[in-house]
Chain A
Amino acid sequence: MAAPPVYRADQAFAPGNGLRWSPNSKRHTWHRLLAAALWAVPVGAVGEFIVWRNGGGPVAAAMWIVAVVLGVVLAGTVAELDRRSLGYAERAEDLIVMHGVFVKRLIVVPYGRMQFVDVTAGLLERWMGIATVRMHTAAAATDATIPGLPAAEAAHLRDRLAQKGEERSMGL
């Protein structure tokens, strides 16, 4: 066997071999922002109600609103950072997925080890035309998830992965 190529430290989370990370859709950030905003409405309303019941003035009410809005902005920022950190690449024998803002993860899933691939989309995701692709192996720790792909691309990716998995299937 040939000597393994040596990686530079800053190349540890790069796809390697001249490949490039395929990103997911920008709509993924919007989806998470929208989800956060939808959560913010009841949270804001309940907070305002409690402030009003406890006799808080307009200052307290405004502070609560600012806090909720800041929360939404923070959620949106994290979502965008998270989206930028995500990438996947299909190689000859395996799929690699890179993900994570605080904890960086790179996962290599051989096609022959995939038990099944599923595509899920919630109500909001369906409306925005995005979907989540998830690869399952016999190991529960295999966390190869690509959220926020455009629906058509997700379906294509699933079909390609399923086909490659079929060709190389090995059992356990």
Chain B
Amino acid sequence: MRFSEGTHRLHWATAPLRAFVFLIVYFVLLGFPLLLTQTDDGVRLELSAEVAVRFLLVTVPMTAIAVGSGLWAWLALRFRIDGDDLVVETGLLRKRRRSIPISRVQAIDLVRPLVTRVFALAEVRVELAGGEQSEIALRYLGRRSAQQLRAELLARAAGLPGHTPEAPERHLWRVPFGALLGSLVLRLPVLGAALLFFASLVFLVMYAEGGMLAVAVPVLLGLIRAVIAPMVMYANFTVATSPDGIRLRYGLLETRMQTLPPGRVQAVSIVEPMIWKAIGWARVEVTVAGYAGERQALSSTLLPVAPRHVALHLVSQVFPGTHIDAVPLLPASSKAVSVDRADGAGTDDVVFVSRHGWPCRRTDVIAHARAQSVRLTANPLQRLLGLATVHVDAPPGPVQVAASDRDLGEARAIVESTARRAQAARRAGGDPTHWAAR
């Protein structure tokens, strides 16, 4: 199938799936209560003729509405690739046309929630830069055609003809189950919470003190949120590189396939909590301009856990031509007073690196070519000590790059040199669109 020829619809199974979901919601909220009868000794489930008639009288029109709305939604959405644009038309009576320049695509995600896996369906999410409304979600396409659509969009974004087959990928890393579980448990807050949980259980049993439940239950919920939820989300995490960018695959119940085209990653951060540092593990977080709001939190992980050298290798894939450990870091001023101690900051021609934090160490990296603006700030305490902080601004995301507590004169020199390097990098790098055709 070629998406540049003719107009396309979502997979036909979308209509029954929508109707099905609608009916489930209806049944839980209204249908099931209709089957119940109020008697003297409480509510009972009783299938008399009267109840059946009452139930059918509501259910039949509801089914019709469900099927109708499912069909309507399926008929209403059409899309095609028109030259350099992805055109999405919605509405049957009132038509709305949205055309998106493919060169603006920041990332393409293939999401497969649990229900849709039965039908071999997948959702295609196209992320664009700017704002909450800037994603296109096509729910749902057939699995094969979703992959084809992604390949075609990426090929066109790269400046190749649309029928170019999907670029081959090179496997980079797979996070083993044990390492993921271990990494989630071996964190100071999690260990502390677990200790608190067991302590409260001991108190509960030894002194038969029911009040301890008020401690145990919230702590348990917190532990589930901190360990089980990421466990399910990041299970089977694999990273691969390809000419189209970095490909991520993960998820137990809902599988996601993310593709980050080259030059779309704005900034990365290598996070090493204290216990991980001893084992030699690290996590990589990433800022991509497309993801806003909730999607930011969902897709800001480039690697949930890996040996440090793998994480560094991945970062040098993201920002080619540099190696983070080879960037010389100049220590912050000895006059600084801070708990979140700055370790230092440094730069080469490609990236600006700052490292800080105790006990959890973060190394923040931004490419000069991606830096938006440079700021120099000095709060009253810093001014008293003759210090200042240099921020290199990235689009909103988990990564904030800042070289804190530098001597004033040095700080200004960093600002100027960073501005100059950013300018040179922008000149050399040019526009990140059409990366294959350059």
Contacts and interface: CB of A to CB of B under 8 A. Distances in A.
B99 interface: no
Interface string B391-406: 1011110001000000
Contacts of A171: 431-433
Interface string A22-59: 00000000000000000000000000000000000000
B375 interface: yes
Nearest to B395: A138
B338 interface: no
A150 B241 CA distance: 53
Nearest to A105: B377
Nearest to A144: B373
A139 B376 contact: no
Contacts of A141: 373, 375, 391, 393, 400
Contact of A138 (B129, B375, B407, B415): B129
A104 interface: yes
A104 B376 CA distance: 8
Interface in A112-157: 112-113, 137-144
Nearest to A109: B373
Nearest to A137: B372
A9 interface: yes
Interface in B360-394: 370, 372-380, 383, 386, 388, 391, 393-394
Interface stretch (B70-78, B242-250, B318-326, B419-427): B419-427
Contacts of A93: 419, 423
A5 B417 CA distance: 9
A13 B372 CA distance: 20
- Name A's interface SS: loop
B411 interface: yes
A106 interface: yes
A71 interface: no
Interface in A1-30: 1, 4-13, 16
A139 B400 CA distance: 10
Interface string B301-322: 0000000000000000000000
B372 A113 contact: yes
A139 B413 contact: no
Nearest to B416: A4
Contacts of B106: 172
A138 B289 contact: yes
Contact of B409 (A8, A138, A139, A172): A8
A107 to B, nearest CB: 5
Contacts of A112: 423, 426
B260 interface: no
A137 B426 CA distance: 15
Interface residues of A, number: 37
B412 interface: yes
Given A5-B413, A171-B432, A172-B432, A104 B383 contact: yes
A8 B386 CA distance: 11
A62 interface: no
B416 A5 contact: yes
B407 A9 contact: yes
Contacts of A108: 373-375, 415, 419
A6 B414 CA distance: 10
A57 to B, nearest CB: 41
A61 to B, nearest CB: 37
A93 B419 CA distance: 9
Contacts of B379: 102-103
A165 to B, nearest CB: 13
Contacts of B239: none
B380 A103 contact: yes
A139 B373 contact: yes
Nearest to B379: A103
B408 interface: yes
Interface in B123-149: 129-130
Contact of B393 (A100, A105, A139): A139
A112 B430 CA distance: 11
A166 interface: no
Interface string A81-102: 0000000000001100000101
Contacts of A8: 409
Nearest to B396: A140
Contacts of A13: 376, 378, 412
Contacts of B391: 141
A139 B380 contact: no
B423 A12 contact: no
A9 B409 contact: yes
A170 B426 contact: yes
A110 B393 contact: no
A103 B388 CA distance: 10
Contacts of A1: 420
A140 B395 contact: yes
Given A94-B419, A141-B391, A171-B433, A9 B129 contact: no
Nearest to B429: A170
Given A93-B423, A104-B383, A110-B426, A142 B373 contact: yes
Given A9-B408, A93-B419, A94-B419, 10 more contacts: A4-B417, A5-B413, A103-B379, A106-B412, A110-B419, A112-B423, A138-B289, A139-B396, A141-B373, A172-B266
15 contacts: A6-B413, A7-B410, A8-B409, A16-B416, A105-B377, A106-B376, A107-B374, A107-B376, A109-B373, A110-B373, A110-B426, A139-B373, A142-B372, A171-B433, A172-B266
The 6 A-B pairs with the shortest beta carbon distances in the complex, nearest first, are A139-B372, A139-B393, A12-B408, A9-B408, A12-B412, A7-B412
